[in-house]
Structure 1
């Protein structure tokens, strides 16, 4: 499944059935500016700095991230300039994207308690894994971690009865999460998340990967772009790491997809244990 195929599928889904009335919030203006700045081979430092400094809370979150245990810095970062120098423009852009997205898509429902905390942990895990792999851009992986489940809160706000479907989908072991959604509503959060990525003009690889992240065959399908497959495989691993951190037993998705994902990423299972240990402190720092 390529970009064109996914785009056509999303257009059909948007024009028919339950998604005709779905309201997708517009992309925040600062995020639109950030995307424009980062599209250049040599992103504009001054423009990214202006965006980061445009909101006091966002500036504070960036400085706080730079001082987190993830970067093990001996001296304290006190300013946006110092944070940008430490993190680099692409990591800064990924962090700002997370902040702006959480503000634009607030989640106020007990069925998705700690949604953005869990998404942030997945994003941190995916960025970390990408840095170990070398052939997957860490900022792309981080952004995917933030957005892959963004369709959940939108469906919760838009479709009657979706809270019950959400609980059922998480509990069932005889079929996939998205199959349960489709059975109840003729759509699923992977499609809606991909629509958000398209509407917000995120990288096309993100749109496709979000659409396919619950597809059990995607990682092993050689007809799919390798970067998309790596994003999906890394997401499965990252979800396992965050779930284990939270004290949950391995999910059916992990047990059924683990080997295919590890094979695609050329990773051994003992490396997963090392990554779990390395991510414990960064996970806790997000609390």
Structure 2
């Protein structure tokens, strides 16, 4: 939600006239002044920090905390400043001084305990991620913008006292808080925070990072962003995971954002979440902030692991269900496709599909200059079967005939029911010799045994065949002519006594041409 305070002049006026806005304490003002002075140096910064004993103690405590795991103890402020560097010391010193002087409790309105818990969580996350990503800054440089990304809420709580009171029960849902701010004020607290920090005179790099910290459209449009901006955005999402109510923690979303923006996969996300959780309790102790039971913070990574594992199992289950559903749909689609192609009684291809298939095979034959044969089969005297024994017997005889034909054809051949008791066999890459061989096998197979229907009915079932080939010695203009010639030869077999095959030969074609 890319909204800014500058879209709402009334809000700017309200903030400017508010007498109770947060202001940086004296030490923080001096540190901010040093950041704006191009002639200042680390020694000057150390001198300002040393004026506040409590601040000095916190900087030293941070330097010696497990978050840095140094083999040699840092004994002096000068050593700590050298370790953190100019920007790192500046950021940490400002962080300590601002937190120590900002309000930490309220009877109504903003939940300050939750506010600081979320702020320290975001700050630690940003610092930790800076190290993981390996960006060209000290990791402390992202601590302050992480800490201050919600600072605008403190200003809004003073300028619009009833804003957060109305959503007191939902303040732990950060996206809802942001939506309420935009709906009521036309700007969110990230934009207000950037405005406030600009008035304080903080460095522009910190202001810019706070301003973009809640821009969710960056998740979808990653590419024109810096690693520091990505770390701040991810720190915002991780802070939501750590601080939200149990039923509102969305670890899956956080893991996705983490992978999208900083390239950390789910395993890396969980490993770093564990480290971040430990560092939060350490940082909270140094900042003297109450973040609740440390054991609950430290078990967040384990909880995330369990929830992500459960989500993965659910996803796997869903994937399996979708796979089974896809298989079922594919099976149904195939059955539907077969029902269009197949003859219902004999379960072989029907006449409609013959026309499609034979046309395709004929075109291939012409393109490849390869032979193609067609054998037409007609059961002899089949009308008598139906008239004498009934259509049930006739249907069984047709199924029997198909069994015989299937036993004769090759795996590369295709068998079709042309209509009634007529069948067609299409033989790719087959000339006269192969076609005659098949026709002979079919005639012999039909004549080798009787068809039996029930126990008392048995009779011979023979067939007459017509055979035509294309592309060897004879070429046809189209597939229809090839099929018609096979049909012509079939009737020649019937005229010559049935129970035989007739092959269309080259001399037949010559006689037809001269006749």
TM-score above 0.5? yes
Match of 1:122 in 2: 122
Contact 1:34 1:51 in 2 (8 A): yes
Match of 2:202 in 1: 202
Aligned pair partner of 1:82 in 70, 79, 88: 79
SS in 1 for 2:171: helix
- 217-226 vs 54-63, greater mean Cα deviation: 217-226
Unaligned runs of 5+ in 1: none
- 150-159 vs 26-35, greater mean Cα deviation: 26-35
Contact 2:191 2:211 in 1 (8 A): yes
Residues 116-155 of structure 1 correspond to what in structure 2 (within 5 A)? 116-135=116-135, 137=137, 138-155=139-156
Match of 2:160 in 1: 159
Count of aligned residue pairs for this structure pair: 279
Cα 1:172/1:276, change in 2 over 3 Å: closer
Contact 2:255 2:265 in 1 (8 A): no
Task: Give 1 or 2: higher strand fraction.
Answer: 2
Contact 2:129 2:231 in 1 (8 A): no
Between the two structures, name the one with larger relative contact order (CA 8 Å, sep ≥ 6). 1
Q: 2:117 & 2:144 partners in 1: Cα distance?
A: 14
Q: 1:265 & 1:165 partners in 2: Cα distance?
A: 36
SS in 2 for 1:113: helix
Q: 2:253 & 2:117 partners in 1: Cα distance?
A: 26
Q: 2:252 & 2:10 partners in 1: Cα distance?
A: 33
Match of 2:63 in 1: 66
Q: 1:172 & 1:71 partners in 2: Cα distance?
A: 32
Contact 2:5 2:12 in 1 (8 A): no
Contact 1:165 1:181 in 2 (8 A): no
Q: 1:25 & 1:112 partners in 2: Cα distance?
A: 13
Aligned pair partner of 1:105 in 82, 95, 102: 102
- Mark the structure with the bigger radius of gyration: 2
Runs of 4+ in structure 1 off by over 6 angstroms are 40-43
Shift of 1:159: 1.6
Match of 2:218 in 1: 218
Shift of 1:73: 2.7
Cα 1:147/1:171, change in 2 over 3 Å: closer
Contact 1:49 1:80 in 2 (8 A): yes
Q: 1:11 & 1:97 partners in 2: Cα distance?
A: 29
Q: 2:29 & 2:9 partners in 1: Cα distance?
A: 22
Cα 1:218/1:180, change in 2 over 3 Å: same
Contact 1:149 1:189 in 2 (8 A): yes
Q: 1:243 & 1:136 partners in 2: Cα distance?
A: 29
**Under a length normalisation based on structure 2, what TM-score does the superposition of the two structures give?**
0.47
Q: 1:10 & 1:147 partners in 2: Cα distance?
A: 22
Residues 42-61 of structure 1 correspond to what in structure 2 (within 5 A)? 44-61=41-58
Cα 1:83/1:204, change in 2 over 3 Å: closer
Shift of 1:46: 0.9
Cα 1:42/1:65, change in 2 over 3 Å: farther
Deviations 1:120-156 (A, max 9, x none): 2321221111011122632332111110011222222
Match of 1:14 in 2: 12
Q: 2:16 & 2:39 partners in 1: Cα distance?
A: 39
Cα 1:257/1:277, change in 2 over 3 Å: closer
**Under a length normalisation based on structure 1, what TM-score does the superposition of the two structures give?**
0.79
Unaligned runs of 5+ in 2: 286-515
Residues 28-39 of structure 1 correspond to what in structure 2 (within 5 A)? 28-38=25-35
Matched, 1:282 2:283: no
Q: 2:173 & 2:275 partners in 1: Cα distance?
A: 31
Shift of 1:203: 3.2
